[in-house]
Every structure is written in structure tokens, then in C-alpha cells.
Amino acid sequence: MTAALDLPDLLGLVAAGDRSALRSLYERQSSRLFGIANAILRDRDVAADAVQEVFLRVARRAGQFDRGRGSAEAWLAGITRHAALDILRARGRELPTDDPALGDEAVSPEAEARLIATAEGRRLRDCLAALEPKNRFGIILAFVHGLSHPQIAERLGTPLGTTKSWIRRGLLALKECLS
């Protein structure tokens, strides 16, 4: 029965304590969330641990999901990003980005390649390409590579407030483009 439900409905069942809904959610989303965690952490074993933590958090917090504030996919990606960043902070080190313009080498392009292969991925790529470079770099560093605003500001050599503004404007433009 849970296989036919959409993600917001599954999250509602998870919030009510339905373990089969959590299992179904895991089966549908774990690969995508692993890709996000792996892009941030650059370590498959640690990324797998992060995904486990994500689903523990989802089991506890599923009732906090509000479909009026955004998609279930974005909510799950946000939890994944935060879990991966928590692990990075605990490890106490910053990992390189895969942006050659910033002097780093690409480590693992598999997750990005899978996303770009989908129609949504192509739309996202086209919308990102339409952004000004300063906005695009900030968004990619934050949401793909998991850097904090201060880390992005340092990397781009810009004041923190400017960096935050660029990212915010870029996200607004991206939202407009994707809607």
C-alpha cells in the first residue's frame, strides 16, 4: 500500500509511527540522499552513516514536514545536508569542492551526473547556468559541497553579508526559474 503513496503522505504515516512507511521512504530516497551525503563528505562509508542518521532524524521529525513550505524531496535533502555537515564539523576538517575555478579537483561526479541525466536535473542545470556566476558559485558551494556561509565567503574572498546576499538572490532566481 505504501508504494503507491506520494512522499508527503509517506512522511505523514512515518509521523504516525508507521514503520512500513519509513521502510518505503528509505527504499525510494536512500540512493538520492546517499548521493547528496557523498558529495559533501567525499567518503562512501561515512556517507552511508550519514544516511542512517538521516532516517533516524526523519523517524523522529516527520511530523515537522509541512508541504506548504516546500517539497518532501527538498526537506529530506536539507536533513541530509545538515547531517553531513554535522559529521564534517565533528571531524573538524573541510573537504575540497569539485569546482576547478576554485583550484580544487573533482572527486566523485557520479551524483551530479545522475541528477543531470534526469529531466529535472536538466532543468536545474539550465536554471543554474542562467544565474550570475557569483550567485551560482555560492549556491553550489553551499548546497552541493556543504560549505557554510563563512567558508564560502572566505573561499570567494567576499564579506559574509555579501556572500549571504548573493546566495539568497540566487536562490530566489532559481526558484523563479524552476516554477
- Averaged pLDDT score across all residues of the chain: 83
The CATH number given to whatever domain includes residue 159 is: 1.10.10.10
Confidence of residue 113 (pLDDT cuts 50, 70, 90): low
In a shared domain, residues 109 and 82: no
Judgement on whether residues 7 and 28 belong to the same structural domain of the protein: yes
Residue found under cell 551526473: 113
Same domain, 58 and 119: no
> Could you tell me if 86 and 108 lie in one domain?
no
Is the domain of 161 the same as that of 177? yes
- Please give the average per-residue pLDDT across 109-133, as a whole number: 72
pLDDT of residue 102: 47
What is the structure's pLDDT at 143?
80
Domain end among 93, 120, 141: 93
Instruction: Summarize pLDDT for 51-78 with one digit per residue, the tens.
Output: 999 999 999 999 999 988 888 998 999 9
Over the stretch 128-149, which tens digit does the pLDDT of each residue have? 889 998 898 888 888 877 778 8
What pLDDT shows up at residue 104?
46
Looking at the structure, tell me whether residues 118 and 76 fall in a common domain: no
**Residue 42 sits in the same domain as residue 106:** no
pTM of the predicted model as reported, rounded to 2 decimal places: 0.55
pLDDT at residue 54 in the model:
95
| pLDDT score of 12 | 94
The pLDDT value given to residue 52: 94
Enclosing domain of residue 108: 101-179
pLDDT for 158 beyond 60: yes
Residue 83 sits in the same domain as residue 109: no
For residue 41, what pLDDT is reported? 86
What's the number of domains the chain is made of? 2
Q: Which of 48, 77, 93 is the last residue of a domain?
A: 93
